[in-house]
Amino acid sequence: MSMASDQYIAYFPDYAHSLCQRFVKNTTRRDALPDIQFFLAHYRAFPCVLKCTVGKSNDLYHNASILHYLHSEFNHEPKNDVVIQKFHQKSKQFYATLRLCDLQNGIIIYMKHANLVFDVDNPNNCIPDLMDDYFLVSKQILVYHLPDVEKQAHDVAREITKRIVFLRKTLRLRLICSRPQAGLCLKCIQLRKPLIYDLALHYGEKFVQVHESILKNLNKTDGHGIVLLHGLPGSGKTHYIRYLIGEIDDKSLIYLPPDMAKDLTKPEVLTFLLGHPNSILVIEDAENIIGDRSEQVLNMNQAVANILNLSDGLLGDAIHMQIIATFNCDLTVVDKALLRKGRLIAQYNFGKLDVNSAKILSTKLGFGVENITAPMTLAEIYNQEKEEENDTLV
């Protein structure tokens, strides 16, 4: 007997199963399951559908965690599911690429096109499926349901969306290199985008608005201006830049190493940068080239002048280059011209997290709160394990 209401428009209690099946095109593909046909056969009604689709390209639903939830909440047994499996050569095991789960309450879950990934961030502490580091994940999961159980289906869908891992993104940064007798060139280097799931938790509530302003301006076509990030060593400036790189669309990011920062005074460097319009120049440890010109030697004055020209001068109007500079000194020593309205996109002073914020982040990272007794930098929070190892060795 079907659970569908007699008032449901897509309920066909008097139709033979074979007639219901004619409403749906039969599938002959080996990489698909007859999901709609299955629902029709079981409930004698067409389903309503909720689509659980990941919000970002690197978000992935962890299938095993979802199955664990379905078992604990609905006493669902995965051994009763309809599955299509593939063989994983490395682990010599089969895994389900497609799975239909009937909860026996008017809800059927369809886990589509699952695959195994291993290079993931795992903030929810999901348990790996194969070989201690492989996770079986899906990008889309469908929740089929009868209209009478819509609220329960929505609750199930919300729970599904909580059970995710994050595929690590590889970022590309272009490093300025000097070749003997061949001049300057760009070499691509790959970075991993750090998992920052909550900017406010890492950097404070005030920083969220600053980040949004930075991102909006750096993503502008033909933009200009400079971003100044300063503060204590280990406070997360470089960590944030890695994250920011992954958020910028359709622009080349050029990295000027600290040992080459002084070379901004050289005409050949300026000429080289002119060949890369609409780019973003990243300068770390820029203390020696952004200081007040009234207290600098001549060649450092030229470096400040070149930064001004690239970010907002005549050259800036021509090549639309933006600049991100980091430094550890106080903002008061920076040349005032770099801070002028219209030229400065944003500046932010990175400091230590207060005790409460540090405890929340430390707990989220799995360290607990035992070591948090005073304000801490991000580096101190992230490297607690290393500090404990050093303490043991002493």
Question: Per-residue pLDDT for 119 more than 80?
Answer: no
Question: Per-residue pLDDT for 174 more than 60?
Answer: yes
More confident residue, 349 or 1: 349
Same structural domain for residues 50 and 140?
yes
DSSP 335-391: -GGGG-BTTEEEEEEE-PBPHHHHHHHHHHTT--STT-SS-B-HHHHHTHHHHHHHH
Residue 142 belongs to a domain? yes
Q: Write out the two tokens for 376.
A: 């801490």
What pLDDT does 143 receive?
A: 97
What pLDDT does 296 receive?
A: 52
Same structural domain for residues 154 and 275?
no
pLDDT digits (tens, 9 = 90+) for 33-89: 888 888 988 888 899 999 999 877 778 999 999 999 999 999 999 988 989 999 988
Query: What is the 3-class SS of 42-60, one letter each residue?
Result: HHCECCEEEEEECCCCCEE
Residue 6 belongs to a domain? no
Distance CA 141, CA 67 (A): 12
Same structural domain for residues 206 and 286?
yes
Would you place residue 390 in the very low, low, confident or very high pLDDT band (cuts 50, 70, 90)?
A: very low
Domain edge (last residue) among 167, 197, 216: 167
What pLDDT does 20 receive?
A: 59
Same structural domain for residues 221 and 160?
no
Question: Per-residue pLDDT for 217 more than 90?
Answer: yes
pLDDT digits (tens, 9 = 90+) for 121-149: 787 888 888 877 789 999 999 999 999 99
Question: Per-residue pLDDT for 299 more than 70?
Answer: no
Question: Please, what is the average pLDDT of the chain?
Answer: 83
What pLDDT does 394 receive?
A: 29
Residue 8 belongs to a domain? no
What pLDDT does 393 receive?
A: 27
Would you place residue 371 in the very low, low, confident or very high pLDDT band (cuts 50, 70, 90)?
A: confident
Residue 7 belongs to a domain? no
Residue 294 belongs to a domain? yes
What pLDDT does 385 receive?
A: 72
Backbone angles phi, psi at 314, to 5 degrees: -65, -40
pLDDT, average across residues 354-364: 88
Residue 4 belongs to a domain? no
What pLDDT does 216 receive?
A: 93
Q: Which residues pair with 48 in a beta bridge?
A: 145
Same structural domain for residues 326 and 364?
no
Would you place residue 24 in the very low, low, confident or very high pLDDT band (cuts 50, 70, 90)?
A: low
More confident residue, 330 or 171: 330
Q: Distance between alpha carbon 120 and the CA centroid of its chain, in Å? A: 11
pLDDT digits (tens, 9 = 90+) for 223-264: 889 999 999 888 999 889 988 988 887 788 999 888 888 888
Q: Which amino acid is at 208?
A: V
Structural domain boundaries, residue 249: 170-350
Domain edge (last residue) among 121, 145, 167: 167
pLDDT digits (tens, 9 = 90+) for 306-318: 787 777 777 777 7
Q: Which CATH number fits the domain that encloses residue 235?
A: 3.40.50.300
Residue 317: count other Cβ atoms within 10 Å of its Cβ: 11
pLDDT digits (tens, 9 = 90+) for 4-22: 666 544 556 666 666 555 6
pLDDT, average across residues 187-194: 80
Same structural domain for residues 362 and 233?
no
Helix (H) or strand (E) holding 213: helix 205-218
Same structural domain for residues 148 and 185?
no
Same structural domain for residues 132 and 213?
no
What pLDDT does 12 receive?
A: 61
Number of domains into which the chain is organized: 3
Domain edge (last residue) among 142, 167, 192: 167
Same structural domain for residues 201 and 345?
yes
Same structural domain for residues 80 and 194?
no
Same structural domain for residues 104 and 209?
no
Question: Per-residue pLDDT for 182 more than 50?
Answer: yes
What pLDDT does 157 receive?
A: 97
Minimum mean pLDDT range among 295-304, 324-333, 349-358: 295-304
Same structural domain for residues 251 and 334?
yes
Residue 11 belongs to a domain? no
| SS3 call for 64 | helix
Residue 252 belongs to a domain? yes
